[in-house]
Amino acid sequence: MELIKTENKREIFISNQIKKFAINGLYGFNTIILIGMGRRLGIFNYLYEKAKSSTSSGKNTEVTFTPFELSEILNLDFKYLDGWIHLALECGIIVIANSEKKILKTAPYVYDLLIDRNNESYIGGTLGAFYYMAPAQDILIENFKTGKIWSILDLPGDIVKDLQERGARFGTLVERLFSKKYENFCKNIQKRGTIFELGCGYGFNLETWAKKYEKARFVGIDIDHIAIAHAKKLIDKNNWNERIEIFETKIDEFTRSFKEKFDLIILNQVLHEMNTDKNYRKGVFKNLYSLLKDDGILLIGESMIPDTFAPKKKFQLFDITHKFTEVKASLFYDEKSFKEFIDSTPFTRAEFVKEGGNSIWVIRK
Protein backbone atom coordinates (compact mmCIF):
# COMPACT_ATOMS: atom_id res chain seq x y z
CA MET A 1 0.00 0.00 0.00
CA GLU A 2 1.39 3.41 -0.98
CA LEU A 3 2.47 5.65 1.86
CA ILE A 4 3.86 9.15 2.35
CA LYS A 5 6.57 10.19 4.79
CA THR A 6 5.96 13.65 6.21
CA GLU A 7 8.44 16.03 7.80
CA ASN A 8 7.72 14.67 11.25
CA LYS A 9 8.30 11.11 9.98
CA ARG A 10 4.68 10.09 10.58
CA GLU A 11 3.56 7.60 7.95
CA ILE A 12 0.28 8.28 6.17
CA PHE A 13 -1.19 5.39 4.19
CA ILE A 14 -3.45 5.94 1.19
CA SER A 15 -6.15 4.03 3.08
CA ASN A 16 -6.09 6.77 5.74
CA GLN A 17 -6.63 9.41 3.08
CA ILE A 18 -9.45 7.44 1.43
CA LYS A 19 -11.23 7.30 4.78
CA LYS A 20 -10.57 10.98 5.44
CA PHE A 21 -11.70 12.35 2.09
CA ALA A 22 -14.22 9.78 0.86
CA ILE A 23 -15.95 8.00 3.72
CA ASN A 24 -15.75 10.72 6.40
CA GLY A 25 -16.43 13.35 3.75
CA LEU A 26 -19.59 11.62 2.54
CA TYR A 27 -20.91 11.13 6.06
CA GLY A 28 -20.11 14.74 6.96
CA PHE A 29 -21.64 16.18 3.79
CA ASN A 30 -24.83 14.16 4.12
CA THR A 31 -25.12 15.00 7.81
CA ILE A 32 -24.98 18.74 7.05
CA ILE A 33 -27.60 18.34 4.31
CA LEU A 34 -29.86 16.37 6.66
CA ILE A 35 -29.52 18.94 9.44
CA GLY A 36 -30.23 21.85 7.10
CA MET A 37 -33.29 20.16 5.62
CA GLY A 38 -34.50 19.05 9.05
CA ARG A 39 -34.44 22.66 10.19
CA ARG A 40 -36.07 24.11 7.07
CA LEU A 41 -38.80 21.43 6.89
CA GLY A 42 -39.73 22.11 10.53
CA ILE A 43 -38.78 18.62 11.75
CA PHE A 44 -36.35 19.82 14.43
CA ASN A 45 -38.65 22.60 15.58
CA TYR A 46 -41.53 20.13 15.89
CA LEU A 47 -39.39 17.75 17.97
CA TYR A 48 -38.30 20.68 20.16
CA GLU A 49 -41.90 21.74 20.83
CA LYS A 50 -42.93 18.14 21.44
CA ALA A 51 -40.20 17.69 24.04
CA LYS A 52 -41.14 20.96 25.74
CA SER A 53 -44.78 19.95 26.02
CA SER A 54 -43.93 16.51 27.37
CA THR A 55 -45.45 15.79 30.78
CA SER A 56 -42.56 13.57 31.82
CA SER A 57 -40.45 14.91 34.68
CA GLY A 58 -36.75 15.65 34.49
CA LYS A 59 -34.55 16.92 31.68
CA ASN A 60 -35.30 15.86 28.12
CA THR A 61 -32.44 13.93 26.55
CA GLU A 62 -34.28 12.41 23.59
CA VAL A 63 -37.53 12.65 21.62
CA THR A 64 -39.53 9.73 20.24
CA PHE A 65 -41.68 10.00 17.13
CA THR A 66 -42.97 8.09 14.11
CA PRO A 67 -42.62 8.81 10.38
CA PHE A 68 -46.41 8.92 10.08
CA GLU A 69 -46.58 11.54 12.82
CA LEU A 70 -44.11 13.82 11.05
CA SER A 71 -45.78 13.34 7.68
CA GLU A 72 -49.26 14.16 8.98
CA ILE A 73 -48.46 17.07 11.30
CA LEU A 74 -45.90 18.78 9.06
CA ASN A 75 -47.74 17.93 5.83
CA LEU A 76 -44.69 16.24 4.27
CA ASP A 77 -44.76 13.71 1.45
CA PHE A 78 -44.25 10.32 3.09
CA LYS A 79 -41.89 8.85 0.47
CA TYR A 80 -39.57 11.84 0.55
CA LEU A 81 -39.69 11.80 4.35
CA ASP A 82 -38.85 8.08 4.36
CA GLY A 83 -35.72 8.84 2.35
CA TRP A 84 -34.67 11.58 4.81
CA ILE A 85 -35.26 9.24 7.77
CA HIS A 86 -33.30 6.37 6.21
CA LEU A 87 -30.28 8.59 5.59
CA ALA A 88 -30.61 10.16 9.06
CA LEU A 89 -30.46 6.65 10.53
CA GLU A 90 -27.32 5.90 8.52
CA CYS A 91 -25.64 9.14 9.63
CA GLY A 92 -26.54 8.62 13.28
CA ILE A 93 -28.93 11.53 13.80
CA ILE A 94 -31.79 9.24 14.80
CA VAL A 95 -32.05 5.60 15.91
CA ILE A 96 -34.80 2.99 15.92
CA ALA A 97 -36.64 2.78 19.24
CA ASN A 98 -39.09 0.02 18.26
CA SER A 99 -38.86 -1.57 14.81
CA GLU A 100 -42.20 -3.41 15.02
CA LYS A 101 -44.13 -0.25 15.88
CA LYS A 102 -41.90 1.87 13.60
CA ILE A 103 -40.98 4.22 16.42
CA LEU A 104 -37.86 6.35 16.13
CA LYS A 105 -35.95 8.54 18.57
CA THR A 106 -33.12 11.02 18.50
CA ALA A 107 -29.65 9.48 18.90
CA PRO A 108 -27.69 10.12 22.13
CA TYR A 109 -27.06 13.86 22.69
CA VAL A 110 -28.69 14.83 19.37
CA TYR A 111 -31.52 16.56 21.25
CA ASP A 112 -28.98 18.67 23.18
CA LEU A 113 -26.75 19.38 20.18
CA LEU A 114 -29.18 19.89 17.30
CA ILE A 115 -32.70 20.48 18.67
CA ASP A 116 -32.74 22.20 22.08
CA ARG A 117 -31.67 25.71 21.07
CA ASN A 118 -31.53 26.77 24.74
CA ASN A 119 -28.99 24.11 25.63
CA GLU A 120 -25.44 25.38 26.20
CA SER A 121 -24.16 22.54 23.98
CA TYR A 122 -26.43 23.46 21.06
CA ILE A 123 -24.58 23.60 17.71
CA GLY A 124 -27.55 23.24 15.38
CA GLY A 125 -27.36 26.86 14.25
CA THR A 126 -23.68 26.61 13.38
CA LEU A 127 -24.15 23.43 11.36
CA GLY A 128 -27.24 24.92 9.78
CA ALA A 129 -25.13 27.87 8.62
CA PHE A 130 -22.71 25.46 6.91
CA TYR A 131 -25.69 24.03 5.04
CA TYR A 132 -26.23 27.39 3.37
CA MET A 133 -22.79 27.30 1.79
CA ALA A 134 -24.35 25.09 -0.90
CA PRO A 135 -26.81 27.67 -2.35
CA ALA A 136 -24.14 30.37 -1.97
CA GLN A 137 -21.73 28.53 -4.26
CA ASP A 138 -22.91 30.19 -7.47
CA ILE A 139 -22.34 33.63 -5.93
CA LEU A 140 -18.91 32.61 -4.61
CA ILE A 141 -17.80 31.09 -7.93
CA GLU A 142 -18.70 34.28 -9.77
CA ASN A 143 -16.88 36.38 -7.18
CA PHE A 144 -13.75 34.21 -7.41
CA LYS A 145 -13.60 35.04 -11.11
CA THR A 146 -14.63 38.70 -10.99
CA GLY A 147 -13.53 39.91 -7.56
CA LYS A 148 -17.02 41.26 -6.86
CA ILE A 149 -18.10 41.95 -3.32
CA TRP A 150 -21.20 40.21 -2.03
CA SER A 151 -23.36 40.62 1.03
CA ILE A 152 -25.31 38.19 3.15
CA LEU A 153 -28.34 40.17 1.98
CA ASP A 154 -27.80 38.72 -1.51
CA LEU A 155 -29.15 35.41 -0.16
CA PRO A 156 -32.88 34.57 0.09
CA GLY A 157 -34.66 36.10 3.09
CA ASP A 158 -35.26 32.84 4.96
CA ILE A 159 -31.55 32.04 4.77
CA VAL A 160 -30.57 35.50 6.05
CA LYS A 161 -32.96 35.09 8.98
CA ASP A 162 -31.55 31.66 9.85
CA LEU A 163 -27.98 32.95 9.71
CA GLN A 164 -28.99 35.79 12.03
CA GLU A 165 -30.25 33.22 14.52
CA ARG A 166 -26.88 31.49 14.31
CA GLY A 167 -25.17 34.80 15.14
CA ALA A 168 -27.45 35.20 18.15
CA ARG A 169 -26.27 31.81 19.38
CA PHE A 170 -22.75 33.18 19.32
CA GLY A 171 -24.11 36.18 21.23
CA THR A 172 -25.41 33.85 23.94
CA LEU A 173 -21.89 32.49 24.41
CA VAL A 174 -20.56 36.06 24.53
CA GLU A 175 -23.04 36.99 27.27
CA ARG A 176 -22.29 33.84 29.23
CA LEU A 177 -18.54 34.48 29.26
CA PHE A 178 -18.99 38.20 30.00
CA SER A 179 -21.37 37.67 32.92
CA LYS A 180 -19.01 35.08 34.38
CA LYS A 181 -15.91 37.28 34.21
CA TYR A 182 -17.66 40.59 35.03
CA GLU A 183 -20.22 39.42 37.55
CA ASN A 184 -20.49 42.66 39.56
CA PHE A 185 -20.85 44.83 36.45
CA CYS A 186 -23.65 42.57 35.19
CA LYS A 187 -25.42 42.71 38.55
CA ASN A 188 -25.50 46.49 38.26
CA ILE A 189 -26.90 46.56 34.72
CA GLN A 190 -29.45 43.96 35.80
CA LYS A 191 -30.81 46.49 38.30
CA ARG A 192 -30.84 49.72 36.30
CA GLY A 193 -28.60 49.40 33.25
CA THR A 194 -28.87 50.86 29.77
CA ILE A 195 -27.67 48.68 26.89
CA PHE A 196 -27.10 49.62 23.25
CA GLU A 197 -26.58 47.16 20.39
CA LEU A 198 -25.04 48.34 17.15
CA GLY A 199 -26.18 46.10 14.29
CA CYS A 200 -29.07 44.49 16.17
CA GLY A 201 -30.31 42.76 13.00
CA TYR A 202 -33.41 40.67 13.45
CA GLY A 203 -33.37 41.20 17.22
CA PHE A 204 -32.40 37.66 18.22
CA ASN A 205 -29.40 38.76 20.27
CA LEU A 206 -31.37 41.57 21.92
CA GLU A 207 -34.01 39.00 22.82
CA THR A 208 -31.40 36.86 24.60
CA TRP A 209 -30.12 39.80 26.66
CA ALA A 210 -33.58 41.21 27.38
CA LYS A 211 -34.82 37.92 28.82
CA LYS A 212 -31.88 37.75 31.24
CA TYR A 213 -31.57 41.43 32.14
CA GLU A 214 -35.23 42.03 32.83
CA LYS A 215 -34.87 45.48 34.40
CA ALA A 216 -32.42 46.92 31.90
CA ARG A 217 -33.41 49.25 29.07
CA PHE A 218 -32.25 48.54 25.51
CA VAL A 219 -31.73 50.43 22.29
CA GLY A 220 -30.83 48.72 19.01
CA ILE A 221 -30.03 50.10 15.56
CA ASP A 222 -29.52 48.56 12.13
CA ILE A 223 -29.65 49.70 8.49
CA ASP A 224 -31.58 46.65 7.20
CA HIS A 225 -35.29 47.56 7.12
CA ILE A 226 -36.37 43.91 6.87
CA ALA A 227 -34.35 43.02 9.96
CA ILE A 228 -35.72 46.03 11.86
CA ALA A 229 -39.30 45.02 11.03
CA HIS A 230 -38.66 41.52 12.41
CA ALA A 231 -36.99 42.92 15.55
CA LYS A 232 -40.00 45.14 16.22
CA LYS A 233 -42.30 42.12 15.92
CA LEU A 234 -40.20 40.31 18.53
CA ILE A 235 -40.55 43.29 20.83
CA ASP A 236 -44.32 43.40 20.36
CA LYS A 237 -44.58 39.65 20.92
CA ASN A 238 -42.79 39.91 24.27
CA ASN A 239 -44.51 43.16 25.35
CA TRP A 240 -41.16 44.96 25.62
CA ASN A 241 -42.14 48.27 23.98
CA GLU A 242 -41.59 50.19 27.23
CA ARG A 243 -38.02 48.96 27.68
CA ILE A 244 -36.67 48.36 24.15
CA GLU A 245 -36.39 50.88 21.32
CA ILE A 246 -35.34 49.94 17.77
CA PHE A 247 -34.25 52.39 15.07
CA GLU A 248 -33.44 51.99 11.39
CA THR A 249 -30.50 54.37 11.16
CA LYS A 250 -26.75 54.70 10.74
CA ILE A 251 -24.46 55.07 13.74
CA ASP A 252 -23.36 58.63 12.93
CA GLU A 253 -26.96 59.79 12.50
CA PHE A 254 -27.99 58.06 15.72
CA THR A 255 -25.12 59.63 17.69
CA ARG A 256 -26.11 63.12 16.56
CA SER A 257 -29.77 62.68 17.57
CA PHE A 258 -29.57 60.47 20.68
CA LYS A 259 -28.16 62.19 23.75
CA GLU A 260 -28.38 59.41 26.36
CA LYS A 261 -25.22 57.49 27.28
CA PHE A 262 -25.08 53.73 27.89
CA ASP A 263 -23.60 51.41 30.51
CA LEU A 264 -22.95 48.69 27.94
CA ILE A 265 -22.55 48.72 24.16
CA ILE A 266 -22.61 45.40 22.28
CA LEU A 267 -21.15 44.49 18.90
CA ASN A 268 -21.96 40.86 18.22
CA GLN A 269 -20.37 39.58 14.98
CA VAL A 270 -20.76 43.06 13.48
CA LEU A 271 -17.23 44.42 13.37
CA HIS A 272 -16.02 42.37 10.39
CA GLU A 273 -19.07 43.44 8.35
CA MET A 274 -18.35 47.16 8.69
CA ASN A 275 -16.89 49.17 5.83
CA THR A 276 -13.29 47.95 5.61
CA ASP A 277 -11.83 51.49 5.42
CA LYS A 278 -9.81 52.07 8.59
CA ASN A 279 -10.84 55.71 8.90
CA TYR A 280 -14.50 54.75 8.62
CA ARG A 281 -14.08 52.22 11.41
CA LYS A 282 -12.23 54.75 13.56
CA GLY A 283 -15.19 57.09 13.05
CA VAL A 284 -17.60 54.39 14.24
CA PHE A 285 -15.55 53.80 17.39
CA LYS A 286 -15.40 57.55 17.99
CA ASN A 287 -19.21 57.55 17.95
CA LEU A 288 -19.34 54.57 20.29
CA TYR A 289 -16.93 56.34 22.64
CA SER A 290 -19.26 59.33 22.85
CA LEU A 291 -22.27 57.06 23.52
CA LEU A 292 -20.59 55.16 26.36
CA LYS A 293 -20.65 56.25 30.00
CA ASP A 294 -17.27 56.99 31.58
CA ASP A 295 -17.41 53.74 33.58
CA GLY A 296 -19.16 51.77 30.81
CA ILE A 297 -17.99 48.82 28.70
CA LEU A 298 -17.89 48.23 24.96
CA LEU A 299 -18.32 44.46 24.52
CA ILE A 300 -17.22 42.89 21.26
CA GLY A 301 -17.82 39.31 20.16
CA GLU A 302 -15.85 38.66 16.99
CA SER A 303 -13.82 35.95 15.25
CA MET A 304 -10.09 36.56 15.70
CA ILE A 305 -8.44 35.05 12.62
CA PRO A 306 -4.66 34.63 12.33
CA ASP A 307 -2.62 35.12 9.18
CA THR A 308 -2.96 32.28 6.65
CA PHE A 309 0.62 31.09 7.20
CA ALA A 310 0.81 31.64 10.96
CA PRO A 311 1.61 28.49 12.96
CA LYS A 312 -1.59 26.69 13.85
CA LYS A 313 -2.15 26.71 17.59
CA LYS A 314 -5.78 25.71 18.01
CA PHE A 315 -8.95 24.42 16.35
CA GLN A 316 -9.97 27.16 13.92
CA LEU A 317 -12.43 25.58 11.48
CA PHE A 318 -15.45 27.71 12.38
CA ASP A 319 -13.55 31.01 12.31
CA ILE A 320 -11.74 30.25 9.06
CA THR A 321 -14.98 29.10 7.41
CA HIS A 322 -16.34 32.51 8.38
CA LYS A 323 -13.39 34.14 6.61
CA PHE A 324 -13.83 31.92 3.52
CA THR A 325 -17.44 32.97 2.99
CA GLU A 326 -16.95 36.71 3.65
CA VAL A 327 -13.30 37.43 2.92
CA LYS A 328 -13.76 40.02 0.14
CA ALA A 329 -16.44 42.09 1.83
CA SER A 330 -15.02 41.91 5.34
CA LEU A 331 -11.97 42.84 7.36
CA PHE A 332 -10.96 40.42 10.08
CA TYR A 333 -8.40 40.97 12.83
CA ASP A 334 -6.14 38.79 14.90
CA GLU A 335 -5.47 39.70 18.54
CA LYS A 336 -2.44 41.87 17.76
CA SER A 337 -3.94 43.83 14.86
CA PHE A 338 -7.20 44.43 16.74
CA LYS A 339 -5.33 45.80 19.76
CA GLU A 340 -3.40 48.11 17.39
CA PHE A 341 -6.70 49.28 15.92
CA ILE A 342 -8.15 50.05 19.36
CA ASP A 343 -5.01 52.03 20.20
CA SER A 344 -5.83 54.27 17.21
CA THR A 345 -9.28 55.09 18.67
CA PRO A 346 -10.21 57.20 21.73
CA PHE A 347 -10.47 54.05 23.88
CA THR A 348 -7.52 53.41 26.19
CA ARG A 349 -8.10 49.93 27.62
CA ALA A 350 -8.76 46.69 25.75
CA GLU A 351 -8.81 43.28 27.43
CA PHE A 352 -9.01 40.02 25.50
CA VAL A 353 -10.87 37.40 27.54
CA LYS A 354 -10.75 33.80 26.39
CA GLU A 355 -12.10 30.60 27.87
CA GLY A 356 -12.08 27.37 25.89
CA GLY A 357 -13.25 28.11 22.38
CA ASN A 358 -15.04 31.35 23.33
CA SER A 359 -13.55 34.83 23.50
CA ILE A 360 -14.60 38.47 23.94
CA TRP A 361 -13.02 41.92 23.89
CA VAL A 362 -13.86 44.21 26.82
CA ILE A 363 -13.10 47.82 25.88
CA ARG A 364 -13.11 50.80 28.27
CA LYS A 365 -12.51 54.52 28.02
- Per residue in 216-227, pLDDT tens? 999 999 998 988
* Same CATH fold assignment for domains 3-127 and 168-364: no
User: Where in the chain are the domains?
Assistant: 3-127, 168-364
pLDDT over 50 at 1, yes or no = no
- Domain covering 3-127 in this structure, CATH number: 1.10.10
More confident residue, 54 or 182: 182
231 contact partners, CB below 8 Å, separation of at least 6: 200, 201, 202, 203, 206, 220, 222, 246
In whole angstroms, give the CA distance from residue 185 to residue 196: 15
- pTM attached to this predicted model: 0.78
By the 8 A CB rule, do 332 and 272 touch? yes
What count of other Cβ atoms lies within 10 Å of the Cβ of residue 329? 17
Report whether CATH 3.30.70.100 matches the domain 168-364.
Answer: no
Q: Quick one: pLDDT at residue 140?
A: 78
Chain segment 63-100, per-residue pLDDT in tens:
999 999 999 999 999 999 999 999 999 999 999 999 99
Least-confidence region, from 111-125, 239-253, 337-351: 111-125
Alpha helices, H only, 182-250: 183-192, 204-212, 225-237
In whole angstroms, give the CA distance from residue 338 to residue 332: 9
In angstroms and rounded to an integer, the radius of gyration of the C-alpha atoms of the chain is 23
Chain segment 233-283, per-residue pLDDT in tens:
999 999 999 999 999 999 999 999 998 999 999 999 899 889 889 999 999
